[in-house]
Amino acid sequence: MSRKRQVLAPVGASAGLFLLSVLAVLCACASVLGVKLSNAPVLPWEQLIPLGVYVAGVPLALLWLKLIGWKGDAGLVGAVFLLCGMGLVVQFRMGSFSQGLSAPLALAPFPLGLAAFVVGVSLTGKGRGTWLAGAGWLAYLAALGVLAAMLVLGRSYRGGMYMPGNMNPSEIVKPLLVFFLAAYLSRRQKAFSETQNGMPVPPLLALLGLVLLWGVPMLLTIALKDLGLMVLLNAILIVMLFAIARSTGYLAIGLAAVTAAGFGVQFISSHAQARFDVWLNPFTDPTGKGWQILQALSAMYSGGLWGAGLGSGVPQAVPIVTSDFVYAAVAEEIGLIGCGLLLMVYAVLFSRGFRAAGAARTPFERLLCVGLTGSLAVQTILNVAGVTKALPMTGITLPLISHGGSSLITTLFVAGLIAGLSDRK
Protein backbone atom coordinates (compact mmCIF):
# COMPACT_ATOMS: atom_id res chain seq x y z
CA MET A 1 0.00 0.00 0.00
CA SER A 2 1.35 3.43 -0.91
CA ARG A 3 2.03 6.08 1.69
CA LYS A 4 -0.86 8.18 0.37
CA ARG A 5 -3.30 5.29 0.74
CA GLN A 6 -2.00 4.58 4.25
CA VAL A 7 -2.63 8.21 5.22
CA LEU A 8 -6.17 8.31 3.84
CA ALA A 9 -7.28 4.83 4.94
CA PRO A 10 -8.48 5.82 8.44
CA VAL A 11 -10.26 8.86 7.03
CA GLY A 12 -11.88 6.70 4.37
CA ALA A 13 -13.01 4.27 7.05
CA SER A 14 -14.41 7.22 9.01
CA ALA A 15 -16.30 8.31 5.90
CA GLY A 16 -17.81 4.84 5.58
CA LEU A 17 -18.82 4.83 9.22
CA PHE A 18 -20.25 8.32 8.75
CA LEU A 19 -22.45 7.05 5.90
CA LEU A 20 -23.73 4.28 8.16
CA SER A 21 -24.31 6.85 10.89
CA VAL A 22 -26.23 9.09 8.48
CA LEU A 23 -28.37 6.12 7.43
CA ALA A 24 -29.23 5.34 11.05
CA VAL A 25 -29.93 9.00 11.80
CA LEU A 26 -32.10 9.34 8.66
CA CYS A 27 -34.15 6.29 9.63
CA ALA A 28 -34.65 7.67 13.13
CA CYS A 29 -35.51 11.10 11.76
CA ALA A 30 -37.98 9.58 9.26
CA SER A 31 -39.80 7.89 12.14
CA VAL A 32 -40.08 11.18 14.03
CA LEU A 33 -41.16 13.07 10.90
CA GLY A 34 -43.82 10.46 10.14
CA VAL A 35 -45.39 10.92 13.55
CA LYS A 36 -45.14 14.72 13.33
CA LEU A 37 -46.77 14.81 9.87
CA SER A 38 -49.57 12.51 10.98
CA ASN A 39 -50.37 14.94 13.78
CA ALA A 40 -49.84 18.14 11.77
CA PRO A 41 -49.98 17.86 7.93
CA VAL A 42 -47.97 21.05 7.55
CA LEU A 43 -44.44 20.90 8.95
CA PRO A 44 -42.32 24.08 8.94
CA TRP A 45 -39.18 23.48 6.90
CA GLU A 46 -37.11 25.15 9.61
CA GLN A 47 -37.50 22.03 11.74
CA LEU A 48 -35.35 20.13 9.21
CA ILE A 49 -32.38 22.48 9.73
CA PRO A 50 -30.80 20.29 12.48
CA LEU A 51 -30.58 17.32 10.12
CA GLY A 52 -29.14 19.54 7.39
CA VAL A 53 -26.52 20.91 9.78
CA TYR A 54 -25.53 17.36 10.73
CA VAL A 55 -25.28 16.13 7.13
CA ALA A 56 -23.24 19.20 6.13
CA GLY A 57 -21.16 19.68 9.28
CA VAL A 58 -19.74 16.22 9.87
CA PRO A 59 -18.27 15.85 6.32
CA LEU A 60 -16.49 19.17 6.88
CA ALA A 61 -14.98 17.71 10.06
CA LEU A 62 -13.88 14.63 8.08
CA LEU A 63 -12.38 16.88 5.41
CA TRP A 64 -10.34 18.66 8.09
CA LEU A 65 -9.06 15.31 9.38
CA LYS A 66 -8.01 14.47 5.84
CA LEU A 67 -6.23 17.78 5.35
CA ILE A 68 -4.15 17.43 8.53
CA GLY A 69 -3.25 13.83 7.70
CA TRP A 70 -5.01 12.29 10.69
CA LYS A 71 -4.52 8.50 10.90
CA GLY A 72 -6.27 7.62 14.12
CA ASP A 73 -9.08 5.25 15.12
CA ALA A 74 -11.92 5.47 12.62
CA GLY A 75 -14.25 3.42 14.85
CA LEU A 76 -13.89 5.96 17.64
CA VAL A 77 -14.82 8.84 15.33
CA GLY A 78 -17.71 6.87 13.85
CA ALA A 79 -19.14 6.22 17.31
CA VAL A 80 -18.90 9.93 18.16
CA PHE A 81 -20.70 10.95 14.95
CA LEU A 82 -23.44 8.36 15.45
CA LEU A 83 -24.10 9.46 19.03
CA CYS A 84 -24.16 13.11 17.93
CA GLY A 85 -26.70 12.30 15.23
CA MET A 86 -28.92 10.37 17.61
CA GLY A 87 -28.69 13.24 20.07
CA LEU A 88 -29.91 15.66 17.41
CA VAL A 89 -32.80 13.34 16.49
CA VAL A 90 -33.84 12.98 20.14
CA GLN A 91 -33.74 16.73 20.72
CA PHE A 92 -35.61 17.31 17.43
CA ARG A 93 -38.25 14.89 18.62
CA MET A 94 -38.49 16.74 21.96
CA GLY A 95 -39.04 20.05 20.17
CA SER A 96 -35.79 21.65 21.33
CA PHE A 97 -35.30 23.27 17.91
CA SER A 98 -38.86 24.51 17.35
CA GLN A 99 -38.89 27.51 19.65
CA GLY A 100 -39.32 30.23 17.04
CA LEU A 101 -36.53 32.79 17.00
CA SER A 102 -34.61 30.90 19.69
CA ALA A 103 -34.24 27.81 17.47
CA PRO A 104 -30.89 28.90 15.93
CA LEU A 105 -29.50 29.47 19.43
CA ALA A 106 -30.65 25.99 20.48
CA LEU A 107 -28.88 24.47 17.46
CA ALA A 108 -25.69 26.55 17.72
CA PRO A 109 -23.89 24.22 20.20
CA PHE A 110 -23.66 21.44 17.61
CA PRO A 111 -21.60 23.30 14.97
CA LEU A 112 -19.59 24.89 17.77
CA GLY A 113 -19.03 21.43 19.16
CA LEU A 114 -17.83 20.14 15.78
CA ALA A 115 -15.37 23.05 15.69
CA ALA A 116 -14.22 22.09 19.20
CA PHE A 117 -13.84 18.48 18.00
CA VAL A 118 -11.47 19.38 15.16
CA VAL A 119 -9.55 21.72 17.48
CA GLY A 120 -9.11 18.83 19.93
CA VAL A 121 -7.86 16.51 17.17
CA SER A 122 -5.44 19.20 15.96
CA LEU A 123 -4.07 19.74 19.49
CA THR A 124 -3.19 16.11 20.22
CA GLY A 125 -2.81 14.50 16.78
CA LYS A 126 0.58 13.33 15.46
CA GLY A 127 2.16 13.34 18.90
CA ARG A 128 1.43 16.99 19.62
CA GLY A 129 -0.25 16.00 22.88
CA THR A 130 3.20 15.73 24.50
CA TRP A 131 3.56 19.49 24.40
CA LEU A 132 0.44 19.90 26.54
CA ALA A 133 2.24 18.37 29.53
CA GLY A 134 3.72 21.77 30.33
CA ALA A 135 0.25 23.28 30.71
CA GLY A 136 -0.73 21.16 33.71
CA TRP A 137 -0.45 23.88 36.35
CA LEU A 138 -2.13 26.41 34.06
CA ALA A 139 -5.06 24.01 33.64
CA TYR A 140 -5.22 23.54 37.43
CA LEU A 141 -5.36 27.28 38.08
CA ALA A 142 -7.95 27.75 35.33
CA ALA A 143 -10.16 25.05 36.89
CA LEU A 144 -9.93 26.71 40.31
CA GLY A 145 -10.75 30.05 38.71
CA VAL A 146 -13.88 28.65 37.06
CA LEU A 147 -15.07 27.03 40.30
CA ALA A 148 -14.37 30.19 42.31
CA ALA A 149 -16.19 32.35 39.76
CA MET A 150 -19.22 30.05 39.94
CA LEU A 151 -19.17 30.27 43.73
CA VAL A 152 -19.03 34.08 43.70
CA LEU A 153 -21.16 34.96 40.66
CA GLY A 154 -23.36 31.89 40.22
CA ARG A 155 -26.93 31.42 41.27
CA SER A 156 -28.70 28.24 42.30
CA TYR A 157 -31.31 26.90 39.90
CA ARG A 158 -32.91 23.43 40.00
CA GLY A 159 -30.13 22.10 42.17
CA GLY A 160 -27.32 23.40 39.98
CA MET A 161 -25.18 26.52 39.98
CA TYR A 162 -25.39 28.77 36.91
CA MET A 163 -23.56 31.88 35.82
CA PRO A 164 -25.39 34.95 34.40
CA GLY A 165 -27.12 33.95 31.17
CA ASN A 166 -27.88 30.45 32.51
CA MET A 167 -24.38 29.25 31.57
CA ASN A 168 -22.86 26.33 33.45
CA PRO A 169 -19.08 26.43 32.94
CA SER A 170 -18.45 23.51 35.31
CA GLU A 171 -18.23 21.20 32.26
CA ILE A 172 -14.84 22.63 31.32
CA VAL A 173 -13.52 21.87 34.81
CA LYS A 174 -13.46 18.14 34.01
CA PRO A 175 -10.93 18.20 31.12
CA LEU A 176 -8.90 20.92 32.84
CA LEU A 177 -8.37 18.80 35.94
CA VAL A 178 -7.68 15.73 33.79
CA PHE A 179 -4.90 17.75 32.08
CA PHE A 180 -3.49 18.63 35.48
CA LEU A 181 -3.64 15.09 36.84
CA ALA A 182 -2.04 13.66 33.69
CA ALA A 183 0.85 16.13 33.93
CA TYR A 184 1.26 15.80 37.71
CA LEU A 185 1.02 12.00 37.95
CA SER A 186 3.12 11.26 34.85
CA ARG A 187 6.06 13.01 36.53
CA ARG A 188 5.54 10.95 39.70
CA GLN A 189 4.75 7.62 38.11
CA LYS A 190 7.33 5.69 40.11
CA ALA A 191 6.10 7.03 43.44
CA PHE A 192 2.44 6.17 42.82
CA SER A 193 3.31 2.77 41.34
CA GLU A 194 4.73 1.42 44.62
CA THR A 195 2.61 -1.36 46.14
CA GLN A 196 2.87 -3.95 48.90
CA ASN A 197 0.73 -7.10 48.80
CA GLY A 198 -1.37 -5.55 46.10
CA MET A 199 -2.11 -2.38 48.07
CA PRO A 200 -0.75 1.02 47.01
CA VAL A 201 1.88 2.53 49.31
CA PRO A 202 3.07 5.78 47.73
CA PRO A 203 5.64 7.84 49.68
CA LEU A 204 4.05 10.04 52.31
CA LEU A 205 5.25 13.30 50.75
CA ALA A 206 3.92 12.35 47.32
CA LEU A 207 0.56 11.29 48.76
CA LEU A 208 0.29 14.39 50.94
CA GLY A 209 1.06 16.68 48.00
CA LEU A 210 -1.68 15.08 45.88
CA VAL A 211 -4.20 15.22 48.73
CA LEU A 212 -3.54 18.91 49.38
CA LEU A 213 -3.70 19.88 45.71
CA TRP A 214 -6.80 17.78 45.04
CA GLY A 215 -8.51 18.97 48.19
CA VAL A 216 -8.83 22.56 46.95
CA PRO A 217 -11.14 21.85 43.96
CA MET A 218 -13.02 19.29 46.05
CA LEU A 219 -13.76 21.89 48.74
CA LEU A 220 -14.98 24.27 46.05
CA THR A 221 -17.34 21.63 44.58
CA ILE A 222 -18.68 20.95 48.07
CA ALA A 223 -19.24 24.67 48.54
CA LEU A 224 -21.09 24.67 45.21
CA LYS A 225 -23.15 21.68 46.45
CA ASP A 226 -22.35 19.89 43.18
CA LEU A 227 -22.48 16.24 44.25
CA GLY A 228 -22.29 14.95 40.68
CA LEU A 229 -19.15 16.87 39.81
CA MET A 230 -17.43 15.80 43.03
CA VAL A 231 -18.20 12.10 42.46
CA LEU A 232 -17.18 12.30 38.80
CA LEU A 233 -13.85 14.00 39.46
CA ASN A 234 -12.90 11.56 42.20
CA ALA A 235 -13.83 8.62 40.00
CA ILE A 236 -11.53 10.02 37.30
CA LEU A 237 -8.71 10.31 39.85
CA ILE A 238 -9.17 6.65 40.83
CA VAL A 239 -9.11 5.51 37.21
CA MET A 240 -5.92 7.45 36.50
CA LEU A 241 -4.17 6.13 39.63
CA PHE A 242 -5.14 2.61 38.60
CA ALA A 243 -3.69 3.27 35.13
CA ILE A 244 -0.35 4.13 36.76
CA ALA A 245 0.00 1.27 39.24
CA ARG A 246 -2.27 -1.36 37.64
CA SER A 247 -3.19 -2.20 41.22
CA THR A 248 -6.75 -3.11 42.20
CA GLY A 249 -5.93 -1.64 45.59
CA TYR A 250 -6.49 1.84 44.17
CA LEU A 251 -9.88 0.73 42.84
CA ALA A 252 -10.92 -0.79 46.17
CA ILE A 253 -9.74 2.14 48.30
CA GLY A 254 -11.05 4.69 45.82
CA LEU A 255 -14.46 3.07 45.53
CA ALA A 256 -14.78 2.97 49.30
CA ALA A 257 -13.70 6.60 49.59
CA VAL A 258 -16.07 7.84 46.87
CA THR A 259 -18.95 5.88 48.40
CA ALA A 260 -18.21 7.28 51.85
CA ALA A 261 -17.93 10.81 50.47
CA GLY A 262 -21.17 10.40 48.55
CA PHE A 263 -23.05 9.33 51.64
CA GLY A 264 -21.26 11.84 53.85
CA VAL A 265 -22.09 14.86 51.72
CA GLN A 266 -25.80 14.40 52.45
CA PHE A 267 -25.14 15.55 56.02
CA ILE A 268 -23.76 18.90 54.86
CA SER A 269 -26.10 19.49 51.91
CA SER A 270 -29.87 19.52 52.12
CA HIS A 271 -30.06 19.12 48.34
CA ALA A 272 -27.93 15.96 48.49
CA GLN A 273 -30.04 14.70 51.38
CA ALA A 274 -33.19 15.18 49.29
CA ARG A 275 -31.68 13.20 46.41
CA PHE A 276 -30.75 10.33 48.72
CA ASP A 277 -34.26 10.32 50.20
CA VAL A 278 -35.81 10.20 46.73
CA TRP A 279 -33.44 7.40 45.71
CA LEU A 280 -34.22 5.29 48.77
CA ASN A 281 -37.99 5.80 48.69
CA PRO A 282 -39.52 8.08 46.03
CA PHE A 283 -43.04 7.07 47.18
CA THR A 284 -42.71 9.13 50.36
CA ASP A 285 -43.43 12.21 48.21
CA PRO A 286 -44.81 10.81 44.92
CA THR A 287 -46.32 14.10 43.72
CA GLY A 288 -43.39 16.25 44.84
CA LYS A 289 -39.71 15.36 45.03
CA GLY A 290 -40.30 11.80 43.89
CA TRP A 291 -42.43 12.77 40.89
CA GLN A 292 -39.58 13.03 38.37
CA ILE A 293 -37.94 9.67 39.05
CA LEU A 294 -41.32 7.90 39.28
CA GLN A 295 -42.39 9.34 35.93
CA ALA A 296 -39.06 8.29 34.43
CA LEU A 297 -39.44 4.73 35.72
CA SER A 298 -42.99 4.63 34.40
CA ALA A 299 -41.85 5.82 30.98
CA MET A 300 -39.12 3.16 30.78
CA TYR A 301 -41.59 0.47 31.89
CA SER A 302 -44.13 1.50 29.26
CA GLY A 303 -41.43 1.27 26.58
CA GLY A 304 -41.03 -2.42 27.22
CA LEU A 305 -38.75 -4.51 25.02
CA TRP A 306 -39.18 -2.74 21.67
CA GLY A 307 -40.48 0.70 22.65
CA ALA A 308 -43.40 2.77 21.43
CA GLY A 309 -41.46 4.00 18.38
CA LEU A 310 -39.58 7.25 17.89
CA GLY A 311 -42.05 10.09 18.13
CA SER A 312 -44.85 7.91 19.52
CA GLY A 313 -44.15 8.11 23.24
CA VAL A 314 -45.12 10.71 25.83
CA PRO A 315 -41.71 11.85 27.13
CA GLN A 316 -43.03 15.27 28.13
CA ALA A 317 -44.60 13.59 31.16
CA VAL A 318 -41.10 13.45 32.69
CA PRO A 319 -39.98 16.85 34.07
CA ILE A 320 -36.80 18.30 32.49
CA VAL A 321 -36.66 15.28 30.21
CA THR A 322 -34.36 16.84 27.60
CA SER A 323 -31.34 17.02 29.92
CA ASP A 324 -30.77 14.80 32.96
CA PHE A 325 -33.61 12.34 32.20
CA VAL A 326 -33.27 12.03 28.43
CA TYR A 327 -32.42 8.33 28.80
CA ALA A 328 -35.95 7.72 30.12
CA ALA A 329 -37.44 9.28 26.98
CA VAL A 330 -35.14 7.22 24.77
CA ALA A 331 -36.05 4.02 26.64
CA GLU A 332 -39.76 4.72 26.26
CA GLU A 333 -39.52 5.11 22.48
CA ILE A 334 -36.85 2.57 21.45
CA GLY A 335 -37.28 0.09 24.30
CA LEU A 336 -34.82 -2.17 26.06
CA ILE A 337 -33.39 -3.50 22.78
CA GLY A 338 -32.76 0.00 21.42
CA CYS A 339 -31.18 1.16 24.67
CA GLY A 340 -28.93 -1.88 24.63
CA LEU A 341 -27.75 -0.98 21.13
CA LEU A 342 -27.22 2.64 22.18
CA LEU A 343 -25.11 1.58 25.15
CA MET A 344 -23.11 -0.68 22.83
CA VAL A 345 -22.17 2.39 20.77
CA TYR A 346 -20.97 4.05 23.98
CA ALA A 347 -19.02 0.88 24.80
CA VAL A 348 -17.31 1.06 21.39
CA LEU A 349 -16.34 4.67 22.05
CA PHE A 350 -14.90 3.91 25.50
CA SER A 351 -13.10 0.71 24.47
CA ARG A 352 -11.47 2.50 21.52
CA GLY A 353 -10.44 5.33 23.82
CA PHE A 354 -8.80 3.00 26.33
CA ARG A 355 -7.13 1.11 23.49
CA ALA A 356 -5.67 4.38 22.23
CA ALA A 357 -4.36 5.02 25.75
CA GLY A 358 -2.66 1.62 25.79
CA ALA A 359 -0.76 2.47 22.61
CA ALA A 360 0.26 6.00 23.66
CA ARG A 361 3.88 7.06 23.22
CA THR A 362 4.45 8.76 26.58
CA PRO A 363 3.12 8.37 30.15
CA PHE A 364 1.49 11.80 29.91
CA GLU A 365 -0.43 10.94 26.72
CA ARG A 366 -1.48 7.60 28.20
CA LEU A 367 -2.80 9.16 31.39
CA LEU A 368 -4.47 11.99 29.50
CA CYS A 369 -6.28 9.54 27.23
CA VAL A 370 -7.27 7.33 30.18
CA GLY A 371 -8.58 10.33 32.13
CA LEU A 372 -10.56 11.81 29.24
CA THR A 373 -12.08 8.47 28.23
CA GLY A 374 -12.77 7.63 31.86
CA SER A 375 -14.58 10.93 32.35
CA LEU A 376 -17.01 10.15 29.51
CA ALA A 377 -17.48 6.55 30.69
CA VAL A 378 -18.15 7.50 34.32
CA GLN A 379 -20.48 10.30 33.22
CA THR A 380 -22.51 7.85 31.14
CA ILE A 381 -22.68 5.33 33.99
CA LEU A 382 -23.77 7.96 36.53
CA ASN A 383 -26.52 9.28 34.25
CA VAL A 384 -27.95 5.91 33.24
CA ALA A 385 -27.68 4.54 36.79
CA GLY A 386 -29.38 7.64 38.18
CA VAL A 387 -32.29 7.51 35.73
CA THR A 388 -32.83 3.78 36.32
CA LYS A 389 -32.62 4.32 40.10
CA ALA A 390 -29.52 2.15 40.50
CA LEU A 391 -27.76 5.18 42.04
CA PRO A 392 -28.94 8.56 43.37
CA MET A 393 -29.36 11.22 40.71
CA THR A 394 -26.26 13.39 40.42
CA GLY A 395 -27.35 15.97 37.84
CA ILE A 396 -24.86 14.55 35.33
CA THR A 397 -25.94 14.70 31.68
CA LEU A 398 -25.79 11.85 29.13
CA PRO A 399 -22.83 12.65 26.83
CA LEU A 400 -23.77 13.75 23.29
CA ILE A 401 -27.48 13.01 23.83
CA SER A 402 -28.71 15.36 26.57
CA HIS A 403 -29.71 18.90 25.71
CA GLY A 404 -27.16 21.44 26.90
CA GLY A 405 -24.80 23.74 25.06
CA SER A 406 -21.75 23.71 27.30
CA SER A 407 -22.04 19.95 27.84
CA LEU A 408 -22.16 19.14 24.11
CA ILE A 409 -19.32 21.49 23.18
CA THR A 410 -17.06 20.24 25.97
CA THR A 411 -17.85 16.58 25.26
CA LEU A 412 -17.02 16.97 21.57
CA PHE A 413 -13.79 18.75 22.49
CA VAL A 414 -12.87 15.85 24.78
CA ALA A 415 -13.77 13.36 22.04
CA GLY A 416 -11.54 15.30 19.65
CA LEU A 417 -8.62 15.13 22.08
CA ILE A 418 -9.09 11.35 22.37
CA ALA A 419 -9.32 10.97 18.59
CA GLY A 420 -6.10 12.96 18.25
CA LEU A 421 -4.36 10.77 20.82
CA SER A 422 -5.40 7.69 18.82
CA ASP A 423 -3.30 8.99 15.90
CA ARG A 424 -0.17 6.92 16.48
CA LYS A 425 1.50 7.30 13.07
Q: List, for residues 378-416, the tens digit of each pLDDT value.
A: 999 999 999 998 888 888 889 999 877 788 899 999 999
pLDDT surpassing 70 at residue 127: yes
pLDDT for 181 beyond 90: yes
pLDDT the model gives residue 394:
81
pLDDT of amino acid 425 = 63
Query: What pLDDT is attached to residue 46?
Result: 64
pLDDT surpasses 70 at 251: yes
Report the predicted TM-score, pTM, of the whole model to 2 decimal places. 0.90
pLDDT tens for each residue of 53-112: 888 888 898 889 888 888 888 889 989 999 988 888 888 787 766 654 455 566 778 889
Task: Flag whether pLDDT at 3 surpasses 50.
Answer: no
First to last CA, the chain: 15
